[in-house]
Structure 1
Amino acid sequence: MQTINCPRLIERVMANTLESIMISDRRGRIIKVNNAFTRITGYSESEALGQTPAMLRSERHPPSFYAAMRAEIDHRGSWSGEVWNRRKTGEIYLQWLSINALEDEKGYVSHYVAISHDLSELRAREAEVEFLAFNDPLTRLGNRQLLMNRLDQALASCREKGEVLGLMVLDVGRLRPINDHFGMRAGDEVICTQAERLHLLAEASDTLVRLQGDTFALLRHSQASVADMTHLAERIIKDLSRGITLQDKSLLMRPSLGIALFPQDAMNKENLIQAAESAQMQAKSQGRKMFRFFDHGQHSEQQRQLIIEHDLGELIIARKHTGLELYYQPKMCLVSQTVCGAEALLRWQHPSLGWISPGEFIPVAEQTHLCVRLDRWVIKQALQQIKSWQQQGVDVPSIAVNLSAHQLDQEDFASWLASEVAHEGLNPSVIQLEITEGAMIRNGEAAVALLEQLQGQGFSISLDDFGTGYSSLSYLDSLPLNELKIDRSFLQRIDRDERSLKLLRAIAGLALSLDLQVVVEGVETDRQVALLSQFGHIKVQGFYFYRPLPAAEFRELLDLQ
């Protein structure tokens, strides 16, 4: 069995341990230190030998602290705890110190061994973790969590004192193109520069935080009058709009800022933040480099739009379609005074908003590209309704459905429509497809080709809202059309403008001479009917005769003919 040299082993342990080890005699004179002691304190072994541990004292502890330490060592033979000491450089540091008294064979204290661990790095890491819990690592400003905490405190104080609290939300603008062109590091530089500018403008009592990306918030805790917030907003917009130089190029910034006040705009922190964000979006949508106070009316409209967008998506994507219904507005032949067609119009009864106008939800469908699915649902419903009426022995005239511009982009539309019509056992002539001039311009030659294909399959094509765009007469000859619908705006002028009447008569006459059917929209008065009766065999549509009717009422109308 190998014999272990204990003194040599102890030397190796002391040399390699990470903890500082200091051994002193019974009088407290240092007789041995290890490498870790030198590394941590900065004192070499030769400088420490013969000294007492008092050489490390930081003066942060009173004499009573060391007296208590000494008393516990004398009584229990050991002591441990946190101690602030001083390095040779003068830097004060925190360490965990354990002191043990060693006795000789007779039971008398012969030596003291002090083992310590430097807590500086650990406490620095803990401090950094604590800092990052409430601060942004890039700008060193506060973060959203800090804002939420300060809002709780500020709102409680303002409620108690009856004071006004102001919250600003702003973005510096142009961050995405800067990141794309100059790189993410340049974007970070811009954020830091703008953060410094904001810091100089904020008061010591304000809470300034970076929420995310290039979005900041500034909380004025009390006495935030409209005048004070306006003055601060003007200074912020001015300073943040100044140029920033990146790679020898000066970039002008375009900040936008929103302001919300407690208690007039919101009563809790979540709604106050939402109100400030809403105001900021209003400023952003109006051109940037400006600020806006929260507008309750505009916010309500935005909320309504969000509800419509969300719930419309739910209806169409989930295929529930609850509340959607087709109404039918008759087209009247003026000469015979009979119903000779109808337009299928979509109506939506929302469970909480009530009836929503197509003029409100159709643009939402267009913007979110839900219109393609919506068009096809309308077509399927119309086909099923026509089939049902025919099975009941009703003589159903051609029913028109509106097509969005996005529908004309769908390569499968012609085949899909033909398949749906065949599935219901109907003739293509029962459906008329209405398109607008804008859709034709947007889709160009592809749209013309698609319409030619549809017309060749037996579907009737109508050009809707003629007179609201370019209204080129060449369309009447170059497009595959069966019908021309003249916009209601012409009728609004013919009562007072003879030239408008002549123009309307000329357009109708030209279309009729090209074997196109003519429909004039928006007929509402006796005089309009009298004037249009002179135009020959045209159709009209408007409230003078009928408003859009539910399916049951339209069927009753057909029965009366």
Structure 2
Amino acid sequence: MDKAVNQKIQHINEINASLEYKVKERTTKLERMNQLYAALSQCNEAIVRCNNEEELFPQICHDTVTFGGMKMTWIGLLDEQSKQLKRVASYGVGIEYLEKIQISIDENEATGQGPTGTAIRENRAFWCQDFLHDPVTAPWHECGAAFGWGASAALPLHKNGAIIGVFNLYSSEVDAFDEAARNLLVEMVMDIDYALSNFERDALRRQAESSLAASHNLLKTIIDTAPVRIFWKDKELRYLGCNPTFASDAGEVNTQSVIGKDDYQLGWNEQAELYRADDQQILDTGVPKLFYEEMKITPDGNMMWLRKSKVPLQNDVNEIIGVLGVYEDITEKKFTEERIHYLANFDSLTGLPNRTQLNDHLKYALSLAKRSNGHLALIFLDLDHFKDINDTLGHSIGDAVLIELAKRLPMILRTEDTVTRLGGDEFILLLPGVDAIGAGHVAQKLLSVIAESYQIEQYTLTLTASIGIALYPEDGTDLETLSKSADTAMYRAKQEGRQGYRFFTPEMQAHLARNLRLVNALRQALEYEQLHVYYQPQVSMQDGRIIGAEALLRWQHPELGMVSPSEFIPIAEDCGLILPIGEWVLRTAVRQAKAWLEDDFDSLIMAVNLSAVQFRHPDLPELVTRILNEEGLPPKYLELELTEGVAMHSPQDAIAVMDDLHERGIRMSIDDFGTGYSSLSYLKKFKVYKLKIDQSFVRDISTDPEDKAIVSAIINLAKSLGLKTIAEGVETAGQLAFLREQGCNEMQGYLFSKPVPIEQFEALLKQGFVVL
């Protein structure tokens, strides 16, 4: 009891420590962001006050250090002729190092390979989160250490879309530029870019006004054709004028119909109070409101996003006489950004987090687990036979099922857990702080909630799932390894019957590695002549003569040795090799049967097994007929064996294939009879002439009354249907005696011969091998 209490207290302490760390981290981040917001505000004010670059740049550097918490900032402009950056403004600790600094944009020069040169050359922001350890900043590590620089940023400056220089910032903190800080600094540079472009436009405008001051038509043309909305109001907040695009937004037919009206009389009257409050504040304070975003409902009821700026309208003696406003429609840009962000983080069908978010959540969960020696579980979930729903009912029904499932899964999880859709019908669940016992409980809940019925349109559907579980740190310490382990465990769950869960084990990894090796080796087995056909005699119960042979595939690998068919045939089916291998076996067996026929062994029947994949292939009858014709073997000497389970998987389809083969003169038998769930109504419709009694019943017929009864029943059933019987796995004289007594027609097994290569089989034939 005391140990449990101590563990509980320890767990609580660990949680408290984690919370304190998070609070401290969040507080530091908030303080940093508050400083950057203050700097952004000061910079915007500077943009409003300054008339040119010479005034603006020193003020920007001063404000980002004084208000933004930076250690030092500087701005360099590009000299196009020398391809060097010239410092034009700086502020903070360490600016003396700038006096002799030379920064090139040539990537072949050492000074051009740092953050500043890269930023201007590649026209992108460059973030150096660990200045003193980043190889990119190696030439400046010494001065960085002297001035206490922990991180740096280099952001290109533009004028009318063209790069003119770089804004460099240095922080004392490592990792100072997180996503929020980066976004804010990018916004600040966008505002500076906008101001630089404005300075140039203002200069051009002043030049134009001085030379064309008398041209009212020119001014009107500029206003009317500007790619932004423009308006101006008097001190009573009535409109004095606007351009045509603004009039259209206001729901008016032309600019004249706007003049003299206020916001209550225009199409956005419901938002009039908000707009008038903004305008009145500008009139009262004289402080512009720049580059802010706002949502507006248009007169036709649509939502519209605007990027607006409003400034005081002044006369020649600087008296405020109204408000001037400019705004642009950024609705499409806004929606595009939101959509891109959504698609980057969420599954478009279900709305669940995607692998990107899973990566982020797992990194965080792993860091916590490593610090606290804790646990976490990764669950790989795959729906069983979900493809059948898509194939039979359509993908729209399948999508609806996935959407419903995506609503159910989070309901049984904690808020700190993450459920992710990888695609198709595959899901990954991350469970921080969960051990094997907890993961098992969650897996049971998942199986239960998945098994509840789904009502999709007129269909009532039920599902099952296979679940694999990997645990940290036992099964992996990163997403790739844990995912691989959970995926392996999930496939083991499928192999062992589905509708269940399995934990990953090292044995699974070894099995997976062997399977992979077998797959790769099997792809070359035919080419390298590693596959062989062995033959096991089939003997007449009446006189003991060899009346046929079963062709059995064997694989002799030079390194792995003799690989069991029970191991490699399922692999061949899974990887798609069973069709070419099966065709090779069939052709080899038919060719050998033809050779025996030419050697006067004209009573021998060649039996060849068909896999489920072969039997369901639509070209099977044509393939068999073509091989028989090409090898010159009459169909009556070939017998195709089909397991009972394959035949009963889709009885109607099986009947159609059997009928087709029967019409071509090809015999068929049911292999492993008694191990499946045959329906007598279907059995009598199957065009077969022989039932093969499974060796699992033959093995104990000398001692087990139930096996005796089953074997007797099968023989009697075959007789009543006019079918022959053959018993496989006959190994003792006692088994032979019982089968003969019951009237079994044929047998095969180690009592007579094991499967042997062709040379040994032909030796048996030539010496007249007979069992009496």
- Classify the TM-score, shorter chain: 0.5 to 0.7
Aligned residue type for 1:219? L
1 CA distance for matches of 2:557 and 2:543? 39
Of 401, 407, 415, the residue aligned with 2:607 is 401
Partner of 2:750: 543
- 2:728 equivalent among 521, 541, 554: 521
Write the distance in 2 (CA, Å) between the matches of 1:139 and 1:486.
51
- Say if 2:380 and 2:429, in contact at 8 Å, map to a contact too: yes
Matched with 2:362 is 151
Query: Could you report, residue by residue, the CA deviation over 1:40-85 in whole angstroms, capped at 9, with x for unpaired residues?
Result: 999987769xx999746699xxx9x97xx9xxxxxxxxxxx96337
Aligned to 1:75: none
Query: Which residue of structure 1 lines up, in the alignment, with residue 223 of structure 2?
Result: 14
The residue aligned with 1:343 is 550
1:400 shift after superposition: 2.0
In structure 1, the partner of 2:639 is: 433
Kindly report which structure 2 residues correspond to 1:79-228, keeping only aligned pairs within 5 A, or say none: 83-84=291-292, 95=307, 116-118=326-328, 121=331, 122-123=333-334, 125-137=336-348, 139-170=350-381, 195-199=406-410, 201-212=412-423, 216-221=427-432, 223-228=433-438
Counterpart Cα distance in 2 of 1:252 and 1:462: 37
Aligned residue number for residue 270 of structure 1:
480
Shift of 1:507: 9.3
Query: 1:521 Cα deviation (Å)?
Result: 3.0
**Residue of structure 2 equivalent to 1:380:** 587
Relative to structure 1, the CA distance from residue 58 to residue 490 in structure 2 (aligned partners, 3 Å threshold; closer, same or farther) is: farther
Structure 1: runs of 5 or more not aligned: 70-80
Higher RCO (CA < 8 A, seq sep 6+)? 1
Letter in 2 for 1:416: R
Cα deviation, residue 401, structure 1: 2.5
Partner Cα separation in structure 2 for residue 407 and residue 140 of structure 1: 42
Question: Cα–Cα, structure 1 residues 375 and 134, in superposed 2: closer, same or farther, change >3 Å?
Answer: closer
1:294 maps to 2:495: no
Matched, 1:416 2:626: yes
The Cα of 1:142 is off from its aligned counterpart by 2.0
Contact kept? 2:239, 2:261, Cα under 8 Å: no
Taking a change above 3 Å as real, the CA distance of residues 559 and 333 of structure 1, as seen in their structure-2 partners, is same
CA drift of 1:196 comes to 4.9
TM-score by length of 1: 0.63
Structure 1 pair 54–272 and aligned structure 2 pair: CA distance change class (3 A)? same
How is 1:227-376 mapped onto 2 (pairs within 5 angstroms)?
227-233=437-443, 254=463, 256=465, 258=467, 259-277=469-487, 292-296=501-505, 303=512, 320=527, 322-331=529-538, 341-349=548-556, 355-360=562-567, 362=569, 374-376=581-583
How far apart are the structure 1 equivalents of 2:726 and 2:351?
67
Cα pair distance change 1:101/1:138, threshold 3 Å:
same
Q: Deviation of residue 548 (structure 1)?
A: 1.4
CA spacing shift, 1:450–1:235, aligned 2, 3 Å: closer
2:658 aligned counterpart, secondary structure:
helix
Cα distance 1:355–1:54, how it changes in 2: closer, same or farther (>3 A)?
farther
d(CA) in 2 for partners of 1:219, 1:349:
44
Aligned counterparts of 1:140 and 1:415: Cα–Cα separation in 2? 53
CA gap 1:274/1:58 in 2 versus in 1, 3 angstroms: farther
The 1:265–1:84 alpha-carbon spacing in structure 2 relative to 1, beyond 3 Å, is same
CA RMSD of aligned residues (A): 6.4
2:658 maps to which residue?
Answer: 447
8 Å Cα contact 1:102/1:111 also seen in 2: yes
The answer (yes or no) to whether the contact 2:231–2:246 under 8 Å persists in 1 is yes
Tell me if structure 1 keeps the 8 A contact 2:608–2:640: yes
Distance 1:243 1:16, change over 3 A: farther
Following the alignment from structure 1 to structure 2, what is the Cα–Cα distance between the partners of residues 284 and 58? 73
Q: Secondary structure at the match of 2:422?
A: strand
Distance in 2 (alpha carbons) for counterparts of 1:240 and 1:485? 41
**Deviation per residue, 1:478-505 (Å, 9 max, x gap):** 9785x87655456434422689779979
Q: Secondary structure at the match of 1:136?
A: coil
- For the Cα contact (< 8 Å) 1:173–1:256, is it kept in 2? yes
In structure 2, how many angstroms separate the alpha carbons of the residues matched to 1:199 and 1:445? 47
User: Percent identity, aligned pairs only?
Assistant: 28
Deviation at 1:227, TM superposition (A): 3.7
Equivalent residue of 2:434, what SS?
Answer: coil
C-alpha separation in 2, matches of 1:87 and 1:32: 24
Is this contact kept in 1: 2:418–2:431, CA < 8 A?
yes
**Structure 1 residues 526-535 or 36-45, which shifts more?**
36-45
- Rate the CA distance shift 1:364–1:516 in 2: closer, same or farther, 3 A: same
The alignment's TM-score, normalised by the length of structure 2, stands at: 0.49
Question: Which amino acid in structure 2 is aligned with residue 34 of structure 1?
Answer: C
Amino acid at match of 1:84: Y
> In 1, Cα distance between the equivalents of 2:723 and 2:449?
63
Code of the residue aligned with 2:732 in structure 1: it is: T
Q: What's the counterpart of residue 492 of structure 1? A: 699
2:341 aligned partner, one-letter code: E
Aligned length: 512
